[in-house]
């Protein structure tokens, strides 16, 4: 099956995410746009994944729990997990690895924890967009320890990308896929064509606003929309 997807979406838990990025809004907008498979990937935390999964329970939409890890090298890695519990446990470890810097909502934005009905049930006081102490060298094993998979985010951007830091995607890290923000531009270059030959290339929205959630234009060929189907695809 060709599955329309968007595997990089932020909620209102991410301080840079709009307050309208609530669990129910994300689930409904994804359905309105014709998506069948999405992932919730807030910065360094998975506290809203369960609420989005619950909000989508009666919709023709599969929600993969995840987070966007900021490594010690300031590289963003999208991490996906088989269930909410695994994502939350990994998220707790990541949060504990962040520096003790408090969020300033008036500067960075709020970090709301919500239930499926848009009730605010908490707010994370620690700033979630800082770099963790987890090195990119250790990310693969760390995420695999929770049954998850991961790939470098927006490798064609000038900030927080693995290519910006290393100049390439090092083979020794063992990634099977990469995320490219602008595939038309990137994959027309020599380095882009090389990346295309070596990795499965994904294009996600990295949405922080509802209108930026992906349209039905990118597809993965999968037997189903479960995490195991996605993992086999990788």
Written as tens digits, the pLDDT of the chain (234 aa) is 999 999 999 999 999 999 999 999 999 999 999 999 999 999 999 999 999 999 999 999 999 999 999 999 999 999 999 999 999 999 999 999 999 999 999 999 999 999 999 999 999 999 999 999 999 999 999 999 999 999 999 999 999 999 999 999 999 999 999 999 998 888 888 778 888 889 999 999 999 999 999 999 899 999 999 999 999 988
pLDDT at 130: 98
**72 and 137 in contact (C-beta within 8 Å)?**
no
- Topology of domain 2-233 in CATH is TIM Barrel (3.20.20)
Cα(22)–Cα(234) distance, integer angstroms: 29
Query: What does the angle CA 219 – CA 170 – CA 184 come to, to the nearest 5 degrees?
Result: 35
The DSSP code for 163 is H
DSSP 3-state assignment of 184? helix
Cα(87)–Cα(105) distance, integer angstroms: 25
pLDDT at 234: 83
**181 and 157 in contact (C-beta within 8 Å)?**
yes
pLDDT at 41: 98
pLDDT at 87: 98
**38 and 23 in contact (C-beta within 8 Å)?**
no
Structural domain spans, the chain? 2-233
């Amino acid at each position: 099956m060709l599955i329309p997807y968007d595997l990089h979406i932020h909620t209102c838990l991410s301080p840079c995410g709009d307050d309208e990025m609530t669990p129910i809004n994300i689930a409904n907008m994804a359905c309105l746009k014709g998506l069948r498979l999405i992932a919730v990937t807030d910065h360094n935390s998975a506290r809203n994944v369960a609420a989005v999964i619950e909000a989508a329970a009666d919709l023709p939409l599969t929600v993969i729990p995840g987070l966007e890890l900021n490594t010690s090298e300031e590289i963003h890695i999208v991490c996906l997990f088989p269930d909410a519990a695994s994502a939350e446990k990994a998220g707790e470890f990541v949060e504990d690895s962040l520096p003790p810097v408090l969020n300033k909502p008036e500067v960075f934005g709020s970090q709301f924890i919500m239930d499926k009905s848009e009730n605010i049930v908490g707010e994370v006081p620690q700033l979630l967009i800082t770099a963790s102490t987890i090195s990119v060298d250790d990310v693969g094993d760390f995420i695999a320890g929770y049954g998850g998979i991961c790939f470098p985010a927006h490798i064609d951007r000038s900030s927080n990308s693995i290519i910006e830091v290393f100049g390439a995607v090092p083979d020794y890290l063992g990634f099977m896929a990469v995320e490219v923000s602008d595939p038309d531009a990137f994959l027309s270059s020599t380095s882009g064509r090389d990346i295309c030959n070596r990795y499965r290339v994904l294009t996600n929205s990295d949405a922080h606003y509802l209108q930026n959630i992906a349209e039905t234009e990118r597809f993965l060929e999968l037997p189903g929309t479960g995490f195991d189907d996605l993992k086999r695809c990788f």
